[in-house]
Amino acid sequence: MNKPHSNHISIPGEIRTFFGKPGGRSLLVKGGAGSGKTTMALQLLEDLADPLKSIYLSSRVSDEALFRQFPWLEKEEMKNRIIDASRVLLKHLVPDEDDVDDVPDAEHHERLSSARDFLRSVSDEPLAPPSKVDRTRLTVLLERNRMPEIERIYDRVEANLPEKSMIIIDSVEGITNKYSLENEELVTCIQKDLVEGSNVDVVFILENKEATNLEYLVDGVVKHTYESREGRRVRNIHIEKLRGTKILQPSYLVTLNDGRFNTFDPFKMYLGDIAQWEPIPDHNRLYSTGTRDLDVLLDGGFKAGSYNVIEVDENVSNEDYHSIVVPILLNFIALEKGVFAVLSGGDHAETLKKDLDKFLPKGQFENYVRIADYFTNKSDSPYIMALGGRVTKEEKEKAVQTWNSNVAFLRGPDNKPIMDFTGFDTLEYLRGGEVAIQHLLDAVAKIKISNDLGIGILKPGLRLTQEIMNMADTYLKIITIDKCPCIYGVKPKTMIYGIVNDLERGTPNIQLIPII
């Protein structure tokens, strides 16, 4: 079976495309402390660079501190990429520290560099790979100060030619402060000599949140930010500039879970081949949500005799909302327990059947689902209860009888528990706020003295929101951040989790990734 692709990715596609183009590229990464700049840089090295031709120059933390914070770096191929700029003795890079080439003629290299710039600007074809590293700007800076770390990087890049190297400089200020340089001087030097003159990919990490005086010097700029959402930290990466690359999505949700940098593409629910749903068994009066990670979040699942609310934010699409709801319904039905539903506005019985049927044995949906439709007077579908137009006393009594007989059918001779699945926007629209609240009170009271399960779907702007929140045993909220559906618990209180496709179990199974 072909597995679906996850929307959980490491480096955004635009940045991968940007660094995949011919020639050298420079990327400036800015943002506040703790926003994930270093973690992203290390992920770039692992994902996009050749282990033998990449260099991480750190002026902020030692190698040992990096390995403690990011244990995955201790893999041998990653260790080889780390250079700690706080150490001056980096003898493993060159045979002898005093073995320095003669200083080239600065004016000669300046003319060569200018010629390369001109040819690059007028030619559509990439220039031939250089055989030596351009040291024009470095030579000028070395007249003021020796910079052993930078000199050795030039040497290592030259040893890699004609193959491309990738360099991470973390941080720009760490180097410039050490050698009394301006940030622009260092960035210009590296940009002209290595990026443009020697086809090197360079990532500059800036400790400051803004860098207006540097952004015009480099090929790309990304900004890391973080904010608080109801006491929960959320990180984002914003793509401000990528020269020659189309930016399809300018902002991505970020997680630093397990010390890795990961972002999220827009969610697509139905991908890959379709297979029959494999239910997660119920256990000790706990009904599985159909999602293992959500079961863990709720200490095993929904409790029998509980009422559980899922609030859906106004910017959440039907597909994002269904990513949580479909597994809940499928798991209950697949375990041969009935679902009695009043659907939310925008959901339709036929569409729901189509969405669930493909994962269920033939006829199982019709046997275990009943949907109350207050807008239809007649239906030939056994799973739809047409309750529209009931105005007379006799019609209302008949509607109640229809309701009760269908509930009895779902319970069967063994009086099995059922799921009461209610979209409260529909209920409030049909009956008004006060009547809907009373209906809720009655429904919750009945559920709590039974083994039934109550699931209430809450949309924005309803009058009965506070009453529902007060009565709910669990209260979950679905939101969208940078086109990624997310869920978190209000009751119990949890962190935010990104919703992604479960590649192991296949669609429509999902996983929840902690947003850290």
Q: pLDDT (tens digit, 9 = 90+) per residue, 142-188?
A: 999 899 999 999 999 999 999 999 999 999 999 999 999 999 999 99
Mean pLDDT of 1-16: 72
506 assigned to some structural domain? yes
Q: What is the pLDDT of residue 396?
A: 76
What's at 274, amino acid-wise? I
Percent of the chain with pLDDT over 70: 82
Q: What is the pLDDT of residue 111?
A: 57
The CA-to-CA distance between both ends of the chain, in Å, stands at 33
Whether residues 56 and 200 fall in one domain: yes
Q: How buried is 120 (Cβ within 10 angstroms: 0-12 exposed, 13-18 middle, 19+ buried)? A: middle
56 assigned to some structural domain? yes
In terms of residue numbers, what domain contains 420?
286-514
Domain at 87, CATH number: 3.40.50.300
Whether residues 252 and 346 fall in one domain: no
Whether residues 180 and 318 fall in one domain: no
3 assigned to some structural domain? no
278 assigned to some structural domain? no
Whether residues 241 and 300 fall in one domain: no
Whether residues 146 and 58 fall in one domain: yes
Angle between helices 37-48 and 13-20 (to 10 degrees): 50
Helices (H), 55-101: 63-69, 76-79
- Read off the pLDDT band of 243 (50, 70, 90): very high
1 assigned to some structural domain? no
Whether residues 398 and 359 fall in one domain: yes
pLDDT value at 430 more than 90: no
277 assigned to some structural domain? no
- Read off the pLDDT band of 375 (50, 70, 90): confident
Whether residues 26 and 125 fall in one domain: yes
Number of domains in the chain: 2
Q: What is the pLDDT of residue 76?
A: 52
pLDDT value at 101 more than 70: no
Whether residues 212 and 325 fall in one domain: no
360 assigned to some structural domain? yes
Whether residues 297 and 178 fall in one domain: no
For residue 210, what are the contacts with CB-CB under 8 A and spacing of at least 6? 30
Whether residues 112 and 201 fall in one domain: yes
- Here the tokens at position 515 are 């947003």
Q: What is the pLDDT of residue 124?
A: 47
Whether residues 149 and 222 fall in one domain: yes
Whether residues 296 and 228 fall in one domain: no
Which residues are paired to 253 by β-bridges? 236
Q: What is the pLDDT of residue 388?
A: 75
Q: How far is CA 359 from the centre of its chain?
A: 26
Q: Is 134 within 8 Å of 117 (Cβ atoms)? A: no
25 closest CA partner among 244, 200, 163, 204: 200
274 assigned to some structural domain? no
